[in-house]
Amino acid sequence: MDPAEFTEWAMLLGIEPWGGARADCLNAMLQGAMLAPWTRTKIKVNDLIPRWGENKTAGGFEAMAAAFAAKAKGVLNG
């Protein structure tokens, strides 16, 4: 790949990203749209994007899942 082609690919990545981060963002937007009718508070897409590598404590996922379930139960019950 010559430098000109590399530059074009880098510019395209800046305009239309691809890969894992892009998939996480699109998935968060979809989740936000699906949750919006069920909540009274505004959902921030940034809050739905996973933070890979930040949660390294034992039982961290279970605690997050329990907190999510409690929040969802509260939203559904009014």
Euclidean distance between CA atoms 25 and 47, whole angstroms = 10
Residue 39: predicted pLDDT: 85
Domain count, the chain: 1
- Tens place of pLDDT for every residue, the chain, 78 residues? 888 888 888 888 777 767 777 888 889 999 999 988 988 888 888 888 887 766 556 566 777 778 888 888 877 776
Residue 30: predicted pLDDT: 93
Residue 54: predicted pLDDT: 65
Rg, C-alpha atoms of the chain: 18
User: Can you give the residue range of the structural domain that contains 65?
Assistant: 3-76
Residue 55: predicted pLDDT: 57
